[in-house]
Amino acid sequence: MNHKLLQFSIGVAFVILVWQAVIFFGDFNEALFPGPITVFGALVELIKDGTLFVHIKDSMRRFAIGYVLAGALAIVLGLLLGRSRWIWPIVDPVVQLLRPISPVAWSPFIVLTFGIGDLPAIVIIFIAAFFPILLTTIKGVKNIDPQHLKLASNLQFNKFDVYRKIIIPAALPSIMNGLHLALGTAWIFLVAGEMVGSQSGLGYLIVDARNMLHLPNVLAGIVVIGIIGLLLDRLITVVQTGLKKASRIHF
């Protein structure tokens, strides 16, 4: 763990040094391309006046709502559709058609339907997270060893016990992979969603700073987004590791 932290710290320090060297030795106007010291100063000011924490709180609230709703619905549907022999073949082409469409492409219709505020960003997060979780859940269910299901039938398990003791534990690693993948995707589109119709949040902070031509604040917002995204990724990795024991099938 300490070795990984050391490697990460060296990597970050290297990027900052290269960034500062480019500013120092290159012919760049810091008003157009701020250096790390300037960006750090802007970040400190945002922390001092409390603005940064307000934007972080609003972004995290929208993200949590959209991500949790998408995860809950996608997992339930995935567990059901994965066991369906005739519904999923009908639904699959529709899912494959909608899945590649960027959630931002729906933003004009989302804003017209829900107006400005929290809802457009939440809906965009929901769309971004929904499909990865749905598809990985279905894949996890379909990849269950048929012998386990046959044994459950021989033991006369009811449907609830089949799901509780076999399907959910066996599909859990795949579900967690989907949740992990969806977390990163949803976090990316959170920023895009907040750039569309929100009046607060990290995406709004960046857009507002851009409109005011305050580029240090733009880069400060980008840095914060990257840090939070990294922390979220580490958090779900820890959860994934902790749930490995729960993926064991018990008869």
Query: Which pLDDT belongs to residue 168?
Result: 85
pLDDT reading at 1 higher than 60 = no
pLDDT digits (tens, 9 = 90+) for 56-111: 999 999 999 999 999 999 999 999 998 888 898 899 999 999 999 999 888 888 88
Q: Tokens at residue 38, please?
A: 């300037």
pLDDT reading at 251 higher than 60 = no
Radius of gyration of the CA atoms of the chain, in A: 22
3-state secondary structure of 35: coil
User: Residue 77 — φ and ψ, nearest 5°?
Assistant: -65, -40
Cα 77 to chain centroid, rounded: 19
Query: Which pLDDT belongs to residue 26?
Result: 72
Domain positions in the chain are 1-33, 36-247
Query: Which pLDDT belongs to residue 156?
Result: 67
Amino acid identity, residue 49? D
Query: Which pLDDT belongs to residue 140?
Result: 92
127: confidence class by pLDDT, cuts 50, 70, 90: very high
Query: Which pLDDT belongs to residue 245?
Result: 62
pLDDT digits (tens, 9 = 90+) for 131-188: 999 999 999 999 887 777 777 676 767 777 778 778 888 889 999 999 999 999 999 9
Q: Of 121, 9, 142, 143, nearest to 61 (Cα)?
A: 121
pLDDT digits (tens, 9 = 90+) for 9-55: 888 888 888 887 887 777 777 667 888 888 899 999 999 998 999 99
Tell me the C-alpha distance between 173 and 136, whole Å: 9
What CATH code is assigned to 36-247? 1.10.3720.10
3-state secondary structure of 124: helix
Query: Which pLDDT belongs to residue 250?
Result: 56
Query: Which pLDDT belongs to residue 107?
Result: 85
Cβ partners under 8 Å of residue 201, min gap 6: 55, 58, 59, 62, 121, 190, 194
> Does the predicted model carry a pTM greater than 0.85?
yes
Query: Which pLDDT belongs to residue 108?
Result: 86
